[in-house]
Structure 1
Amino acid sequence: MTSRSSDPWSDTAIESTLKNYLGVGLDADLPDDVRFLASVTQLIRKRIAKGEVSEDSPAIFLLHPHEPELPATRESSKVWMLDNGLRGVSGRMWFVNKTVSNGTAVHLSPMDEDSDLFQLAVDELDAGNVPAVVFDARTPAPEMRYYPDGLVASDNFRFVQVAGSTITLSDVFDVIDRLHLQQLCTPSVQQKAMTLWANPDKHHVSKHAEDLIQGVLRAGLTGQFPACTIKAEQAQASGRLDIEIEEASPFDRSQITRHVILELKVLRSFGSTGVKVSDTENEDWTRSGVKQAATYRDERGTRLAALCCFDMRTVHIGDSCFDNVRDLALRLQVELRSWHIFASSEAYRHAKVS
């Protein structure tokens, strides 16, 4: 059985992402539970586009790629290429892999109550503690619920937006705020696999800091916007963009809405070996970031662009780090936002009190 997994923003999920990213490039796979949620969402979007409606039973997806031992009263069928969206999914409990490319369908009875379905997964099939998605087309508008800790934790779920929607920079910043607080802001919340500091006592920043932060954001944004594709490190004529959020139409995958470009910069007082980084260098870095964000947005036809600075310098100055580029950013229509990463919990507490 697949081991218990957790939410896309959990310590385990983020640590897994960073282990995959570090050293093998930013095209490495996301954590299994994040890929599962995104893959199920894409499949459901295809089914909604084909008009799938069921008045009998929902579809339940479990991240459990092994065929279960079924009671005599249940029948199952093995399905390949499930992710192409050509097969109806309602009225079945699906045991699927992380890409939802293959699965085993356990057929549900129209007489089953919702409580019976939870009991089937938790008690009869011993699959209640793996990530699960419930898609319900019986409701006036089809809805999807994600259970990061499985159906055994039936109160711990969140609704997932499956229909196309307009993503705002405020939506994106809300996710980054949460990731910053839970995974980035101090060494105590950072995982051992993603040490942002070469030497926090001396404010020496790891040479991998940008890549590590990018990995955290990509995992978190995918978890929040599973209907979208979160692309990283895309090369083009003007350079290599950091993060782009795009969404393909479920009716026509060639029709793509490019929502947001994020340019990421880490501001330093010292490099990983202790070499001092001047204020002028950091100012040049932010100026370059504004220009990059605007250029990438215009080249790709993306709706919105933002420069996201993660300030790891010795002094916490907030959004004053953008004083030298505010006029430029306004003219180029690039949003500015900063997050400070502290070298110790004590420094974080002091900043909060101040």
Structure 2
Amino acid sequence: MVDLPILGGVSPEEIERIAQTVGTPTVAGASLTTRFFRRVSALVATRAGRGESGQFTVFLQSEALFEDAKCCSVAEAPLLANGADPVVDRIWLSTASLSTSFELLLRWSDAASLFQAVKKAGLGGIPAVVVDWRTGVPQGRLYRSGLSNHEDSETVFFEDVPITRMQMKEVLDTFYERSLRTPALVIEGHAKRVWKESANGIPEHRPEEVIQGRLLEALKAVFARHDLRAEPITDDGRADIVISMKTITSGGLPAVVNEWVLELKALADQTNTGNPVPPSVAVQAIQSGLEQAIGYKTRLNALQAALCCYDMRATDFGDDSAFAHIQDDAKHHDVPLWRWFLFRSTAASRTARGYLSSASR
């Protein structure tokens, strides 16, 4: 058995102190698919910086690489990750680390035939990144469940530029729609649950932490050029999610810019044991969340901060009602207030979308 207290000459206590002070790496805890997306993003940024241009690139992530490579003629590319070789107008099949890769020698001429070629090769169901180089600045989309599922896609950002408020909101909306809106989405892919008994409105213990973990995973893939940390310590406590980017000062020195602070709140009207929670608790949680967002933004010298509320209560009261008591303070400190309602059933979600006219209900 390994003697942990002397492992590498570093005690577990010292490791814990370092982790609390420095923070864990962005990819810590990330899935293989998210790691793949981040490595592809770094490769694309490198090639774009060297002036590469063309039509499209497809990167496919395989966990059965040599078996999948039998789908067609291939050319091995063992040094793809180095960024020294062109990647445009090619289809790449690789492991999550990009350490072993193949170019798939498939015939295609445009976007439609490109997608069709991948699907005909039997690879339409594995994670993919599609890069569009035609505008001069590479644009990317993630297909977590493969090119055969066009609807399950989202934008990925390759540029080393600040994340706009609109971009952040769109990404958070997408995360909600694909991961939290209904109980069926919440448990998809054996993910940790936020509901203990959705039909009865009973949440799991500390659902906020579950949402935080799943959101971090989503953000790490989409904002692949940024660093993300959960709960870094400040004098005011722990910020839920901080998004930062490495840069260079005017004097040529390395620096880190904290772009975003996201403060998360899960609002429930029951405890995980089914006991009722007074309405005043949610009101106070929202106010506390705004105070924390403002405090962390100031302490971390962040460019932007947002309060993100995930509403698990029985009734959707609407944003105006939920945020009425903090609207003025939020506006004064320029902190957007965002809220998403978690439905307790798929049927309730469909009704809220208003697919049927009121007369036919």
Same fold by TM-score greater than 0.5:
yes
1:104 & 1:235 partners in 2: Cα distance? 40
Q: Are the equivalent residues in 2 in contact too, given 1:261–1:296 (CA < 8 A)?
A: yes
Gaps (5+ residues) in structure 1? 1-25
The residue aligned with 1:205 is 203
1:40 & 1:130 partners in 2: Cα distance? 15
Going from structure 1 to structure 2, the CA distance change for 1:325 and 1:127 (only over 3 Å counts) comes to closer
1:59 Cα deviation from its structure 2 partner = 5.4
Q: Are the equivalent residues in 1 in contact too, given 2:248–2:254 (CA < 8 A)?
A: no
Which deviates further from its counterpart, 344-353 or 296-305? 344-353
Which deviates further from its counterpart, 157-166 or 296-305? 157-166
Counterpart of 1:104 (choices 101, 104, 123) is 101
Spell out, residue by residue over 1:34-92, the C-alpha distance to the aligned partner (whole angstroms, 9 max, x if none). Answer: 3322220122213323x24367x9755331363546988x653423xx54x55234366
Q: Are the equivalent residues in 2 in contact too, given 1:201–1:343 (CA < 8 A)?
A: yes
Q: Are the equivalent residues in 2 in contact too, given 1:316–1:351 (CA < 8 A)?
A: no
Counterpart of 2:60 (choices 55, 59, 62) is 62
Q: Are the equivalent residues in 2 in contact too, given 1:62–1:132 (CA < 8 A)?
A: yes
The residue aligned with 2:52 is 53
The residue aligned with 1:19 is none
Going from structure 1 to structure 2, the CA distance change for 1:339 and 1:152 (only over 3 Å counts) comes to closer
2:353 & 2:152 partners in 1: Cα distance? 30
Q: Are the equivalent residues in 1 in contact too, given 2:141–2:154 (CA < 8 A)?
A: yes
2:172 & 2:34 partners in 1: Cα distance? 16
RMSD between aligned residues? 4.0
Alignment of 1:244-283 (within 5 A): 244-249=242-247, 254-283=254-283
1:188 & 1:155 partners in 2: Cα distance? 17
Counterpart of 2:225 (choices 222, 227, 231) is 227
The residue aligned with 2:9 is none
Task: Compare relative contact order (CA 8 Å, sep 6+) and give the higher one, 1 or 2.
Answer: 1
1:323 & 1:156 partners in 2: Cα distance? 35
The residue aligned with 1:141 is 136
Q: Are the equivalent residues in 1 in contact too, given 2:235–2:299 (CA < 8 A)?
A: no
Report percent identity of matched pairs: 26
1:141 Cα deviation from its structure 2 partner = 0.8
Spell out, residue by residue over 1:270-306, the C-alpha distance to the aligned partner (whole angstroms, 9 max, x if none). Answer: 1111233223322221121111111111222221111
1:154 Cα deviation from its structure 2 partner = 9.2
The residue aligned with 2:29 is 29
Q: Are the equivalent residues in 2 in contact too, given 1:242–1:263 (CA < 8 A)?
A: yes
1:177 aligns with 2:173: yes
2:172 & 2:157 partners in 1: Cα distance? 18
Aligned partner of residue 302 in structure 2, secondary structure: coil
Give the letter for the 1:53 counterpart: E
2:146 & 2:315 partners in 1: Cα distance? 43
Going from structure 1 to structure 2, the CA distance change for 1:71 and 1:220 (only over 3 Å counts) comes to closer
Aligned partner of residue 314 in structure 2, secondary structure: coil
TM-score computed with the length of structure 2 as normaliser:
0.70
TM-score computed with the length of structure 1 as normaliser:
0.72
1:35 & 1:171 partners in 2: Cα distance? 21
The residue aligned with 1:215 is 213
The residue aligned with 2:344 is 343
Alignment of 1:285-300 (within 5 A): 285-300=285-300
Alignment coverage as a number of residue pairs: 318
Give the letter for the 1:185 counterpart: R
1:351 & 1:62 partners in 2: Cα distance? 36
Alignment of 1:51-90 (within 5 A): 51-53=50-52, 60-64=58-62, 66-67=65-66, 68=69, 75-79=75-79, 83=81, 85=82, 87-90=84-87
Give the letter for the 2:324 counterpart: D
Q: Are the equivalent residues in 2 in contact too, given 1:342–1:348 (CA < 8 A)?
A: yes
The residue aligned with 1:313 is 313
Aligned partner of residue 194 in structure 1, secondary structure: coil
Give the letter for the 1:88 counterpart: D
Spell out, residue by residue over 1:221-275, the C-alpha distance to the aligned partner (whole angstroms, 9 max, x if none). Answer: 3343333334323233322211223334599994444332110001121111123
1:307 Cα deviation from its structure 2 partner = 0.8
Counterpart of 1:240 (choices 219, 238, 242) is 238
Q: Are the equivalent residues in 1 in contact too, given 2:72–2:104 (CA < 8 A)?
A: no
1:311 Cα deviation from its structure 2 partner = 1.7
Going from structure 1 to structure 2, the CA distance change for 1:78 and 1:164 (only over 3 Å counts) comes to closer
Gaps (5+ residues) in structure 2? 1-25
Q: Are the equivalent residues in 1 in contact too, given 2:268–2:277 (CA < 8 A)?
A: yes
Going from structure 1 to structure 2, the CA distance change for 1:96 and 1:236 (only over 3 Å counts) comes to farther
Give the letter for the 2:173 counterpart: D
Give the letter for the 1:164 counterpart: D
2:232 & 2:163 partners in 1: Cα distance? 20
1:352 Cα deviation from its structure 2 partner = 5.8
Give the letter for the 1:205 counterpart: P
Give the letter for the 2:305 counterpart: A
Q: Are the equivalent residues in 1 in contact too, given 2:108–2:117 (CA < 8 A)?
A: no
1:153 & 1:183 partners in 2: Cα distance? 16
1:40 aligns with 2:36: no
1:53 & 1:97 partners in 2: Cα distance? 23
